[in-house]
Structure 1
Amino acid sequence: MKVKVTPKIPVRLLAIGALAAPAILTASPNAHATVTSSPAHTIQLKECGDHGSSDNVTIYSYCDGNGYQVWAEFRHTDVVDGHLDVWGPNLPRRSSPNGYWPAGTDTQRWRAEGNGTACAEGWSRVAGKWRSVGLPCVTIS
């Protein structure tokens, strides 16, 4: 499974692996990422989905050899009453619980296998009406 990783890799990506030592993340001009935990240990990350943002929503993805994981967050504004929907290849639409979502709080991670497009849509309810507050997508291939 291959998907491009941009040089701007979110710090959350490092938290996915179980690294026993502090890690350094570098990206080559070919956009391959390498995590170095010590001079003796280098881990090649599989190329995977970029993160993508639209309005107030960001979607993240990660490949681990057993498929991919996706999750989302409201980016820069707290949502008093809302939720995030996430879907992708072989992943039917999943929804986070309705309620208060502080900016930067991730949904759970959903796992699936496949290639295609994964998306997240954020919803906010104001005065009893639901409105979309962002619909970013990333490519999983």
Structure 2
Amino acid sequence: MIRSLEINAPRQGLFMITDAIEPVVRDSGVRQGLCTLFVQHTSASLIIQENADPSARHDLENWLNRLVKEDDPLYTHTTEGPDDMPAHIKAALTATSLGIPIDQGRLALGTWQGVYLWEHRRHGGRRSLVMHIAE
């Protein structure tokens, strides 16, 4: 089963999407299987991360922004603004797809894990995800 999801990510940062994914998994009827997620963009990514303490997400965002700075003089891809090339690099360093096991009709995430869309542009927008759920 393949489904599309639209996620609003209006700014740079981590956006929890677990609550958007879980009902699709539940409604699929798959009890044991795999949920594959894919973000159809080159300046956003997907991660599984700490879902309880927001300071972990804040620290991740700050660390990646420090690692991949805007306005690097080496960038030649600059026509879409100073945050565009860094967003592409950040997406290349993280992941555009995730595979999450399904067990007993639910995502087999750990207690403190959540699924996040990581918007790398300062002014993001609607992001398209493809979900593939299979036994």
Q: TM-score normalised to the size of structure 2?
A: 0.34
Higher relative contact order, chain-length normalized (CA < 8 Å, sep 6+): 2
Structure with the larger helix share:
2
Structure with the larger strand share:
1
Q: TM-score normalised to the size of structure 1?
A: 0.33
